[in-house]
Amino acid sequence: MGAANWLALLLTHPLEFRTLIQFYLYHEQKRDIAAIKEHPTSGWDRDSMRRCWEFLDMTSRSFSAVIKELEGDLARTIALFYLVLRGLDTIEDDMTIPDEVKQPLLRSFHVHTVTPGWKFDGSGPNEKDRQLLVEYDTVVEEVNRLNPEYKSIIIDIALKMETGMADYAHKAATTGTIYLETIAEYDLYCHYVAGLVGEGLSRIFSASQKESPILGDQLEISNSMGLLLQKTNIIRDYREDVDDHRYFWPREIWGRKEYGFTEMHQMSATDPDTVQRATYAQSGMVLDALRHTTDALDYLRMLKNQSVFNFCAIPATMAIATLELCFMNKEMFQRNIKIRKAEAAKARPSFFFELIMRSTNPREVGLVFREFARKIHAKAVPSDPNFILISIACGKIETWCEHHYPSFVHFNNETGKQSLEPSDARTGIVMREQALDAQLAKKKRVEDLRNGITATSGSQVEKLENRNLSTGELMMFVGAVFALMFAMGAGVIYTVVKVVGDQ
């Protein structure tokens, strides 16, 4: 953030300026990839990898920050994974490349990614990530240095993704069809461009042994995590995409008869009737994205490594916040809208502080999702054809939170102890169950006493049974047995002799 931007923020949003200062003061950087001790895993000591880190900053500042804080070689691996897919996406998005040139480029990209010296300078001059492809040989060099398991995952995902992208690009170029028609087609497209990213990340996390091996097999919820992020971006970027003649909203949603649109660009009109119908179509898009939220929350609950969790949780919380920002927001059709990093939030002094600092554990992320789901529901209007379904979708997030983290159970972060909400009816049920358990335990102790068995004697017997005797103790025990047997035998012989002598 440049000095001019800081000054503008100070003058226009002084409270947000203060909260951003607080964040930068109190948010401690977890890892410095340029530090000498990090060179073996970050590769910062190599010119080629240092250039790759620069490309990461150039192509995505938001992802760059969380990628760099991943532990060990995960940061370098995920950075290269991102750059490979960014290069592929740049070719797919470039409308200046003819289909006959684009098709072989896309379908062979997984081969180019491991071909030393390969690079591409045929992108249009206005493509923002053109330079990445111009120097792609640098990425190739570093991909070939990766652990073979990591490398095979990246190449496999690139192969699957390039196939899907090439199919859609060819369809658009040869049939003249510029729209995704059905929700199923929309899901498939998002799977190719984002769901596969979720699959690849899960497999890489498992391969690193920082997460459970079973995570790499969770394809459905990995896909849902990717679809939630991708669909959120597609909703938010309506104006930018329409201006560039890219149409990703499926006709099955925006083309419903009650909305009255035959072309997507018609939603940009500013008359009140069109604005209302456009927000209803937008509501349908948000509804479709919300169906992936509980899968995303389930995915986050599976993660154990803190740096991996932060990497996945921060984009997820940003997604639900963006959906709430877009929902029923007529300005979205007139301009690109994005959340300012320090936009005010009711529950916390800063929106950015809220998302970053709370995205540290599944419970807090669940609560963030619930808060934004409630905001979405509060903005829903009964005249919206999606009103009931929006209410149900928000209710599913509420249900998920209540199931995993009941609201009547309070957790004190300072003491690490839990307490129950006295006014909640469920507290009374828990208290009665605890009282019943205590009565049953007391009754059992009384019965044990009557039977001559006390808890103390029982524990002593158990200790004796479980005790491991040393060799010396064992020899003493055996010797004592033999001595007893000898004494008993000698006593018997003495008695017999005495009796015979008396006769």
Does 236 participate in catalysis according to the annotation? Answer: yes
Active-site residue, from 311, 333, 353, 372: 311
What CA–CA distances, in Å, run from 122 to 118, 126, 135, 170, 297? 13, 11, 12, 18, 41
**What pLDDT is stored for residue 389 in this prediction?**
97
Statement: residue 108 has pLDDT above 80: yes
Active-site residue, from 76, 86, 236, 277: 236
DSSP 8-state assignment for residue 138? H
Active-site residue, from 82, 120, 136, 189: 189
Tokens describing residue 422 = 């006295």
**What pLDDT is stored for residue 430 in this prediction?**
81
pLDDT (tens digit per residue) in 369-424: 999 999 999 999 999 999 999 999 999 999 999 999 988 887 776 676 778 878 87
∠ CA 294-299-303, nearest 5°, is 145
Of the spans 4-8, 23-27, 262-266, which averages the highest pLDDT?
262-266
Statement: residue 468 has pLDDT above 70: no
**What pLDDT is stored for residue 14 in this prediction?**
60
**What pLDDT is stored for residue 126 in this prediction?**
86
Domain boundaries, the chain: 31-148, 177-408+419-429
Residues 6+ apart with CB under 8 A from 307: 30, 69, 70, 71, 74
**What pLDDT is stored for residue 342 in this prediction?**
39
**What pLDDT is stored for residue 48 in this prediction?**
96
Query: Would you give the end-to-end CA distance of the chain in angstroms?
Result: 119
* Whole-angstrom distance, CA of residue 313 vs CA of residue 311: 6
Which of the two residues, 366 and 245, has the higher pLDDT score?
Answer: 366
What CA–CA distances, in Å, run from 370 to 57, 163, 194, 290, 393? 32, 37, 24, 12, 11
* Whole-angstrom distance, CA of residue 342 vs CA of residue 217: 37
Tell me if 60 sits within 8 A of 82, measured CB to CB: yes
Mean pLDDT of 305-332: 93
* Whole-angstrom distance, CA of residue 267 vs CA of residue 279: 9
Please, which pLDDT band fits residue 177 given cuts at 50, 70 and 90? Answer: confident
Instruction: Say which range, 81-95, 233-247, 283-297, has the weakest mean pLDDT.
Output: 233-247
Please, which pLDDT band fits residue 470 given cuts at 50, 70 and 90? Answer: low
**What pLDDT is stored for residue 496 in this prediction?**
43
Statement: residue 28 has pLDDT above 50: yes
- The neighbour count for residue 120, using CB atoms within 10 Å, is 19
Please, which pLDDT band fits residue 492 given cuts at 50, 70 and 90? Answer: very low
Statement: residue 490 has pLDDT above 60: no
Q: Which SS3 state, helix, strand or coil, does residue 491 take?
A: helix
Please, which pLDDT band fits residue 80 given cuts at 50, 70 and 90? Answer: very high
% of the chain exceeding 90 in pLDDT: 59
- The neighbour count for residue 281, using CB atoms within 10 Å, is 24
**What pLDDT is stored for residue 246 in this prediction?**
83
Statement: residue 24 has pLDDT above 80: no
Which of the two residues, 30 and 192, has the higher pLDDT score?
Answer: 192
Please, which pLDDT band fits residue 483 given cuts at 50, 70 and 90? Answer: low
Number of residues assigned to the chain:
503
Instruction: Say which range, 79-88, 131-140, 336-345, has the weakest mean pLDDT.
Output: 336-345
Please, which pLDDT band fits residue 230 given cuts at 50, 70 and 90? Answer: very high
DSSP 394-437: HHHHHHHHHHHS-TTEEE-TTT--EEE-TTSHHHHHHHHHHHHH
Mean pLDDT of 244-264: 92
Does 246 participate in catalysis according to the annotation? Answer: yes
* Whole-angstrom distance, CA of residue 442 vs CA of residue 434: 12
**What pLDDT is stored for residue 354 in this prediction?**
64
**What pLDDT is stored for residue 395 in this prediction?**
97
Please, which pLDDT band fits residue 243 given cuts at 50, 70 and 90? Answer: confident
Q: Which residue has the tokens 């899968």?
A: 295
Tell me if 111 sits within 8 A of 103, measured CB to CB: no
Tell me if 253 sits within 8 A of 185, measured CB to CB: no
Statement: residue 273 has pLDDT above 80: yes
**What pLDDT is stored for residue 129 in this prediction?**
92
- The neighbour count for residue 296, using CB atoms within 10 Å, is 27
Mean pLDDT of 309-313: 94
Taking phi first (over 0 means left), then psi (-120 to 50 degrees means alpha), and beta for anything else, what does residue 211 get? Answer: beta
* Whole-angstrom distance, CA of residue 376 vs CA of residue 130: 38
Please, which pLDDT band fits residue 64 given cuts at 50, 70 and 90? Answer: confident
Whole-prediction pTM: 0.78
**H or E element: which one contains 462?**
helix 455-466
Q: What mean pLDDT is reported for the chain?
A: 84
Which of the two residues, 21 and 444, has the higher pLDDT score?
Answer: 444
Please, which pLDDT band fits residue 497 given cuts at 50, 70 and 90? Answer: very low
Q: For the structural domain made of 177-408+419-429, what CATH number should be given?
A: 1.10.600.10
Statement: residue 94 has pLDDT above 50: yes
Statement: residue 104 has pLDDT above 50: yes
* Whole-angstrom distance, CA of residue 337 vs CA of residue 24: 24
% of the chain exceeding 70 in pLDDT: 80
Instruction: Say which range, 145-159, 203-217, 311-325, 483-497, has the weakest mean pLDDT.
Output: 483-497
Active-site residue, from 107, 246, 301, 363: 246
Mean pLDDT of 85-95: 92
**What pLDDT is stored for residue 381 in this prediction?**
95
Which of the two residues, 270 and 425, has the higher pLDDT score?
Answer: 270
Q: Which value, to the nearest 10 degrees, does the dihedral of the CA atoms of residues 435, 441, 446, 452 take?
A: -170
Please, which pLDDT band fits residue 482 given cuts at 50, 70 and 90? Answer: low
Which of the two residues, 435 and 15, has the higher pLDDT score?
Answer: 435
